[in-house]
Structure 1
Amino acid sequence: MKVLKFGGKSLANGKGIHKVVDIIEDKVNNGELITVVLSARGKSTDELEAILDKAVRNESYQEQLEAFKKYQVADYAGFSVDDEFETLDKLFEGVSLLGDYSKRIKDQVLSQGEVISAKLITHILKEKGVNAHFTDSRELIKTDGTFGEAQPLDKLSKENVITHFKKYNGTTVNVVTGFIASNTDNETTTLGRNGSNYTAALLANYLDAEELQNFTHVSGIYTANPDLVSDARKIEKLSFAEANELAYFGANILHAKTIIPLIEKNIPLRILNTFDHNNRGTLITAENNANGIKSLSVLENVSLINLEGRGLLGKVGVDARIFKALAHNNISVSMISQGSSERGIGLVVGADKAVEAKKVLEQEFEADLYKRDVNIITVENDVSVISIIGQDLSTFHRPYNALIKNQVIPLLFNNTVSGKNVSLVVYKNQLHKALNVIHGEIFEISRKINIAVFGHGLVGGTLIDQILKSAKEIEKRKKIDLNIFAVANSKKILLNKNGIETSWRSDVKEGIQYEIGDIIKFADKHHLENLIAIDNTASKEFTDHYITLVEEGFDLVSSNKVANTLSFEFYKELRSKLEEHQKQYLYETNVGAGLPLIDTIKLLHLSGENITRIKGVFSGSLSYLFNTFSKEERLFSEVLQEAIDKGFTEPDPREDLCGNDVGRKLLILARELDLSNEFTDINIHNLIPENLREGGANEFLEKLKELDLVYQKIKSEQKPNHVLRYIGDLHGDLFEEKGILDVKLVSVPESSALGQVKGSDSIFEIYTESYGDQPIVIQGAGAGAAVTARGVFGDILRLTEKG
């Protein structure tokens, strides 16, 4: 004998109910001996509860009741449950007149869902020639007199079941109502929510069944609810002990009571998918898994009660008073956490018991509240409990830190004595994100990094292409899933929670207008974790959003150097917000494009190395210009025009020649040494003669030859074997509040490190106390879209490592 149990979603109108009938019919045709246990169909139980709530408030419920009736018999000509509908009519009418109902009445109302379900399946099976028999479990399962959560009387129930199945056996398929039973006075009782599983387990026990097959809408038990965690994995096998643990901590497919009758008789339980009958599901047996299991389960309909009181310090028995008062009022506590001082105690109870629990505790601690030994008793609704089954405390820091990084702050947490299970209370609106973050940390799957790219010009566009090209290989090697969910320019944005495609350039043209808040709302709506905002603009306006993005959970990566060169007050405020929200801001490309300059300076500075000077050629554009001009006998205007034509300069080359760009880079390095310099402190040698600084770009380009006389004179006045270099120089006493920042054109020996720079390379000399006159030299390509994009990409990967 096998017991088959079908849940409400399996029995819903449409595809579900036909699948159920097909499964039963197939098993009968294959000669299998089966018993079928059914839940109410679809959301029938919820519907009946909703109608009951309307009736007790004397609200109009007839329309909803008629819709319920219509759903139950739709598409099934010749099927009638008039008696059950009449019973409901009378019960709801009575509740409406009285304005009240008991748990006994509620059990009678809810029982009709299972009765209708079982009668319908019996009717359909008989039409198909299956010898089916409607079996009302109220005639079999006898319970105590507790309505709503009745406890079975085992001996009497077992006798009834054995007697019934002796009478209806052989080719008969007993179609049994789940969830419902009756007391010794033959009054309808129910076994509590998920009680249909309990009914099936009891029958399996009494009948010494070969296996209990629980058909649901999922293909087994997963490492997390697949509706909430897309990367959840199916668990092939579980032991009864592990299943019991999952059931206790809220796994919604299992019910803790279901496991016990099966353990007694060592009856396997298989969780199967009604809609994928070929899937073997999850098998639960007495056999233990060698490596144990890990899984996430959730309790959602709960509330958190906090009891706080400084006056309780050192008092013994506070928790005993709490439990005694709650137990006396039949209120169960599913989780507790408290400090050793008992100054603060957190309790998790069912959401429907929260108000009553608060009232009970206020009565118990009335005198303590009056004396202010207890300061306050509060209820926090809209919370959920996440339990990490099989989580060793020695590695719990990983998921916990990941939650904090994603701005999910647990309200409460505790662990079992074994140290293998940890439970967290989080706000319900953060549940989805929290589950994904934890799941990604405790299982060996790719951690998703969700990226928003602002600015998709040369650098931004190159970066996007680099990420899309490398993403699969990075996921394979580093188990990091880089997902670009947003690409934006100053006006439009392209959004896709699953990641943009290679066609993003054309797709973004069809994007929507946006404000920064729209991206934040999008990330919240889709529960996106591990957020990074990439600034590839040159915009001062966009840097105004940095603090907002940090506050909303984004790490920052920027090739835009503006933010680091604004007022020192903003510089400090941004760092303060980063520290407060535990976010990172990486900007290696701000000074040396793809060169490891800022990281090197940070490492030296943090290690206590005294940096005494930093100087070098900071601009790739000006490096090319003066390297070529110094080496070749050509006019300055000719070399400048060549640099413009090669795309080494901005369209208006005065943006390079004015020196502000080099000045900003020098200021960034000064601030890395904790100097409080402002941009106005920089001594900048503007390479543009005063008479050419005004007017449009075209006008300037027409007058390039006016530069020749100026720079030919400078070149000719050099010492022998010297060359021109436009440098940034940070010097002075760098232990004071401010350093000296010079940006200037200098003549250096051709044999020196600065003098040997070629092409458009940048070079940086870092002088320290330890190294004396021998600087640390960092040299390489200091400009170019591909190089800068690769540097930004490197910062992104560094962030994922820090995560």
Structure 2
Amino acid sequence: MDCTSPSMLIGANWPKEVLDNPLSLDGDVLSLSGAADAEFSHLDHRNGKRNVYKFGGTSVGSPARLCGLVRILREERGRVLAVVVSAMGHTTDYLLEAVAFAAKGDADSALKVVDKIQALTLTNAHDTQKELEVEEIEDMTEVIVNHFKPLRELLYGICLLQEQTAAATDTVLSFGERISANIVAKLLTKAGVEAFFLDARDWLTTDDTHGCAKVFFDESKEKLQELSKEWKSNTLPVITGFIGSTRSGRTTTLGRNGSDYTATLVGSSLGADYVLINTDISGVMTADPRIVDRAAALSHLNHHEALELAVYGTRMFHARTMVPLIKGDVTMLIRNTMDPNGHGTYISGVGRSGTRETCTTSLENLAIIEARTRILQDGSSDPHQQENIGARVTKVLEELKIPVWLSIRGAHGQAISVVVPRSAEEIACVAINTELSTEIESHEVDPLNSESPVTMLSVVAEDLSTIPYNQTKFFGALADAGIEVLAVGGGCNHITLGVVRQLQKQQELYRYQHKARVNIVGFGSNCCDFLYNPKGFTFEDLISRLEDCKSTTAVVSASPSVSSAYAGAPSLDQLDQLQDSAIPILIDCSGQGNTQELYSACIERGIHVVASNARSVCRLPPTSSRESVATSRAKTGRTFFMYTSTIGASLPVIDTLGNILRTGDRVLGIETSLSGSMNFVANEVLKGKKLSEAVGEVLRKGYCERDPREDFTGTDMVAKIVVLARALGVHINPSAVELEPLIPQSVLDTITWSNTMEVDDIVSGLKSYDEVFHKKYYVPAVAENKRLHYVASIDLSKFPSIQAKIQPVLISEDHPAFYTKDNEIAFGFSSVQYPNPLVLKGSGTGAAASATGVLRDVLTILNSLNGKNVHV
């Protein structure tokens, strides 16, 4: 069983994922201390020959995820020593629900829950075989139904007794892992990977503490090593996570993150090279992504840092999970099941020198209790008395078995503050008052002071005391957010620094407000309305300010933030100045294609980049070595590369695509009319206007690119198709897109193009093509009751084969774009879960829409760093 861990927003490291697989809701998280860190270049699970693979509940919870599991193990079979699996999906929660119903005497409800679990298991077992296209689908119905018969009998017995014991609950929960491991073993075998089911109760020996049993490590290790001698060399054991048994044979469970614990026990016992935790996130995060949207994955932690994180609140792994790793000096990798080639986070015994990223974690619903003496105890006082209050408070809490998360003693023993669970606050105060009653009555000790709820935030980094920058930034965050610190403590290991503060200030402390410096590079005709309005000044006022600085380098004092606008690319000196800002952001509105050097220079300096034009993104090389970009970036930072406005302007196209893929769904195809300018032309033609007249109007409205030929010939759409493919995690070469221009190049070549030409010049040049266009598109569209649209399509149904086309099409009523009007664009996403396309439609061009899209990217960066949920 695994507790659900917070899922991160899909992000990637610079530059590979940005260039190859930049799937993101709002942009890409760039964690520059990832695999580029030479200190840990030797940590690579692909070099391991004896790796233990663990798959959590989400990784075995659906046919799509199970197919991914099978593919991973099939591809990496030569490195797999053993597999450990959790129960499928929410099975553990369902089993707890069933046993709760049974304990209340509600047998019908309990058995209905079992029916639900059984149906889920049957679907996963059979549908996974279909998706894997195995030669002969095995009917596993009998195996699954027989597996749950003893569970039904057990629940009926609990129902009769109407008593839910810890031992019975453990036995009920074991059915989840056992059927999961059994099915996975069968699926692997059907897919050509010989595997067998191994019940961990056959070797993992524990005490009888049901719900969180203690493992007898040496005894379990010896049993497992003996069992492993019987394994055939070409077969793979699929082991149940989370469960064990007492010496008398009674089923036990290992508690939170028990399957991870099982995996590390297997790895340590069998001398594994790596333990790979395959889960739904991309590694250990720098902060809780439920609060900090852009928390980034760390590249590396050492065992003791991970242990501290587990102790101080992370739910990714339990502290016990680290013990076998430390004991066997085994490296663990936490990676995303959906991105097995991603970097993830390595946790090893290797230390780290120099600066590094830090993690923050929190424990909530705590209480702080303070006892303070009124008598100054100096060197002349009795040394025993000097320690008396602190020792007595600690002792009484230990006797009551109340956990103390932080204990701080004042100088000369004058005061002690302890942080305890809020649920134990009243008991702890009564006990301490009783212990110190004599001193309180004689006024030698002040009445106890307690405060709740409070939250303890901890920052964790190896040798934290030698990295003053991290401590300074940490306490600077408190000051900026106006946080009252109630207590501060740090361990002698110099790994953790903790502070206690009021609960209601938690999110402000996590994500505090900074001023941002924004640099704007270039002004395209379609991106000059930059809507940045933090202080409430008028739109017209800002536009006039930006208009004044289009031709020169100037500073726009738009707010407490400083916005600079450059006519051309900024110099390195200007980037260095921007780098010194609290949140430096460069917005590229130039639409130029030779931007790699500029973007690299920004990322090296920790400057966030917002690209507003697809050409700026699509021309980046699909593969670039990490060493060529951002190698000098400080290891403490992370940088955002945002480009969501390049597709659909303010329309949340990439956001929607990211939401589809985050659920594990697979996109099969996209049909879109994503050129708002050409949609406008097509709509005007269908209203009866001539092509040349429609083009003249769209040019005057400012809907086209700076060079309108990019719209007419479809080259702008090609760039957007390439970027859209990147968001899907695939690469399309622009030359591979089948392109049919809306207006033929031969027609455009009859026009003399120049930077000073007027709209009327273009209109005049197109008049000779009006009649041809009318007969080719208008006449059949009216006759067939169809509409003309310039349509782009991506076909992924036969992936890895990909087909991309752009062509004028007469569409019928069932097309996503049929009901668009004016300059609206439309997208239809077809997927496994959406056989009928999910349609997204709205305004997709124009200065206001483009500017809103850019502003949204800027606000996303600010929100992620500052923690304000601003909706545009």
Give the TM-score category using the shorter length: 0.5 to 0.7
Paired position in structure 2 for 1:202: 265
Asked if structure 1 preserves the Cα contact closer than 8 Å seen for 2:389 and 2:413, the reply is yes
Asked if structure 1 preserves the Cα contact closer than 8 Å seen for 2:196 and 2:236, the reply is yes
Describe the SS at the equivalent of 2:367.
Answer: strand
The one of 143, 146, 150 aligned to 2:213? 150
Taking a change above 3 Å as real, the CA distance of residues 411 and 68 of structure 1, as seen in their structure-2 partners, is farther
Describe the SS at the equivalent of 1:74.
Answer: helix
- In the alignment, does 2:498 pair up with 1:423? yes
In the alignment, residue 457 of structure 2 is paired with which amino acid?
A: V
In the alignment, residue 55 of structure 2 is paired with which amino acid?
A: F
Q: CA deviation at 1:178?
A: 1.2
**Whole-angstrom CA distance in 1 between matches of 2:198 and 2:158:** 28
Q: CA deviation at 1:229?
A: 3.0
- In the alignment, does 2:589 pair up with 1:478? no
Q: CA deviation at 1:194?
A: 1.3
Q: CA deviation at 1:202?
A: 1.3
Structure 1 length normalisation: TM-score?
Answer: 0.52
The alignment yields a C-alpha RMSD, in angstroms, of 4.3
Paired position in structure 2 for 1:355: 423
TM alignment of 1:517-556, pairs within 5 A? none
Paired position in structure 2 for 1:259: 322
The one of 297, 311, 316 aligned to 1:234? 297
Paired position in structure 2 for 1:44: 91
Q: CA deviation at 1:212?
A: 1.5
Taking a change above 3 Å as real, the CA distance of residues 173 and 312 of structure 1, as seen in their structure-2 partners, is farther
In the alignment, residue 281 of structure 2 is paired with which amino acid?
A: V
Q: CA deviation at 1:16?
A: 2.3
Paired position in structure 2 for 1:27: 76
Unaligned stretches of 5+ residues in structure 2: 1-49, 127-139, 378-384, 520-531, 548-555, 587-640, 652-861, 866-872
- In the alignment, does 2:385 pair up with 1:317? no
**Whole-angstrom CA distance in 2 between matches of 1:49 and 1:313:** 55
The one of 226, 229, 235 aligned to 1:163? 226
Q: CA deviation at 1:137?
A: 0.5
Taking a change above 3 Å as real, the CA distance of residues 129 and 402 of structure 1, as seen in their structure-2 partners, is closer
**Whole-angstrom CA distance in 1 between matches of 2:375 and 2:204:** 48
- In the alignment, does 2:457 pair up with 1:385? yes
The one of 337, 355, 369 aligned to 1:306? 369
The one of 336, 352, 366 aligned to 2:434? 366
Q: CA deviation at 1:39?
A: 1.9
Paired position in structure 2 for 1:336: 407
Asked if structure 1 preserves the Cα contact closer than 8 Å seen for 2:95 and 2:113, the reply is no
Q: CA deviation at 1:456?
A: 1.1
Paired position in structure 2 for 1:401: 476
Paired position in structure 2 for 1:273: 336
Identical positions, percent: 25
Which string of whole-angstrom CA distances, capped at 9 and with x for unpartnered residues, describes residues 7-29 of structure 1?
2232222532221121112223x
Asked if structure 1 preserves the Cα contact closer than 8 Å seen for 2:51 and 2:272, the reply is yes
Describe the SS at the equivalent of 2:564.
Answer: helix
Taking a change above 3 Å as real, the CA distance of residues 287 and 309 of structure 1, as seen in their structure-2 partners, is closer
Q: CA deviation at 1:185?
A: 1.0
**Whole-angstrom CA distance in 1 between matches of 2:225 and 2:435:** 56
In the alignment, residue 243 of structure 2 is paired with which amino acid?
A: I
In the alignment, residue 167 of structure 2 is paired with which amino acid?
A: R
Q: CA deviation at 1:384?
A: 5.1
TM alignment of 1:35-184, pairs within 5 A? 35-53=82-100, 56=103, 61-62=109-110, 64=113, 66-77=115-126, 78-79=140-141, 80-82=143-145, 85-95=148-158, 98=161, 100-184=163-247
Taking a change above 3 Å as real, the CA distance of residues 105 and 332 of structure 1, as seen in their structure-2 partners, is farther
In the alignment, residue 453 of structure 1 is paired with which amino acid?
A: K
- In the alignment, does 2:536 pair up with 1:454? yes
**Whole-angstrom CA distance in 2 between matches of 1:459 and 1:334:** 54
Asked if structure 1 preserves the Cα contact closer than 8 Å seen for 2:73 and 2:80, the reply is no
- In the alignment, does 2:92 pair up with 1:10? no
Describe the SS at the equivalent of 1:73.
Answer: helix
Describe the SS at the equivalent of 2:89.
Answer: coil
Taking a change above 3 Å as real, the CA distance of residues 405 and 111 of structure 1, as seen in their structure-2 partners, is same
Describe the SS at the equivalent of 2:333.
Answer: strand
Q: CA deviation at 1:141?
A: 0.7
Q: CA deviation at 1:419?
A: 4.6
Q: CA deviation at 1:310?
A: 5.8
Taking a change above 3 Å as real, the CA distance of residues 424 and 382 of structure 1, as seen in their structure-2 partners, is closer
Q: CA deviation at 1:342?
A: 6.5
Query: Which of 2-11 and 385-394 deviates more?
Result: 385-394
Taking a change above 3 Å as real, the CA distance of residues 268 and 335 of structure 1, as seen in their structure-2 partners, is same
**Whole-angstrom CA distance in 2 between matches of 1:36 and 1:167:** 16
Q: CA deviation at 1:427?
A: 5.0
**Whole-angstrom CA distance in 2 between matches of 1:91 and 1:299:** 39
Structure 2 length normalisation: TM-score?
Answer: 0.49
**Whole-angstrom CA distance in 1 between matches of 2:255 and 2:235:** 29
Asked if structure 1 preserves the Cα contact closer than 8 Å seen for 2:305 and 2:495, the reply is no
Q: CA deviation at 1:51?
A: 4.7
**Whole-angstrom CA distance in 1 between matches of 2:423 and 2:289:** 32
Taking a change above 3 Å as real, the CA distance of residues 174 and 328 of structure 1, as seen in their structure-2 partners, is farther
Asked if structure 1 preserves the Cα contact closer than 8 Å seen for 2:362 and 2:456, the reply is yes
**Whole-angstrom CA distance in 2 between matches of 1:45 and 1:94:** 20
Q: CA deviation at 1:160?
A: 1.2
**Whole-angstrom CA distance in 2 between matches of 1:135 and 1:128:** 19
Which string of whole-angstrom CA distances, capped at 9 and with x for unpartnered residues, describes residues 62-84 of structure 1?
45554444334334342443455
Describe the SS at the equivalent of 1:221.
Answer: coil
**Whole-angstrom CA distance in 2 between matches of 1:376 and 1:56:** 42
Taking a change above 3 Å as real, the CA distance of residues 32 and 358 of structure 1, as seen in their structure-2 partners, is same
Describe the SS at the equivalent of 2:232.
Answer: coil
Asked if structure 2 preserves the Cα contact closer than 8 Å seen for 1:222 and 1:295, the reply is no
**Whole-angstrom CA distance in 2 between matches of 1:367 and 1:263:** 40
TM alignment of 1:630-641, pairs within 5 A? none
Asked if structure 2 preserves the Cα contact closer than 8 Å seen for 1:36 and 1:173, the reply is yes
**Whole-angstrom CA distance in 2 between matches of 1:225 and 1:455:** 35
Asked if structure 1 preserves the Cα contact closer than 8 Å seen for 2:308 and 2:496, the reply is no
**Whole-angstrom CA distance in 2 between matches of 1:196 and 1:273:** 16
Taking a change above 3 Å as real, the CA distance of residues 482 and 20 of structure 1, as seen in their structure-2 partners, is same
**Whole-angstrom CA distance in 1 between matches of 2:394 and 2:283:** 36
Which string of whole-angstrom CA distances, capped at 9 and with x for unpartnered residues, describes residues 238-275 of structure 1?
33344334444344434332233223333222222211
**Whole-angstrom CA distance in 2 between matches of 1:464 and 1:100:** 73
In the alignment, residue 478 of structure 1 is paired with which amino acid?
A: D
Paired position in structure 1 for 2:671: none
How many corresponding residue pairs?
484
Which string of whole-angstrom CA distances, capped at 9 and with x for unpartnered residues, describes residues 606-656 of structure 1?
xxxxxxxxxxxxxxxxxxxxxxxxxxxxxxxxxxxxxxxxxxxxxxxxxxx
Taking a change above 3 Å as real, the CA distance of residues 420 and 126 of structure 1, as seen in their structure-2 partners, is closer
Unaligned stretches of 5+ residues in structure 1: 485-497, 509-796
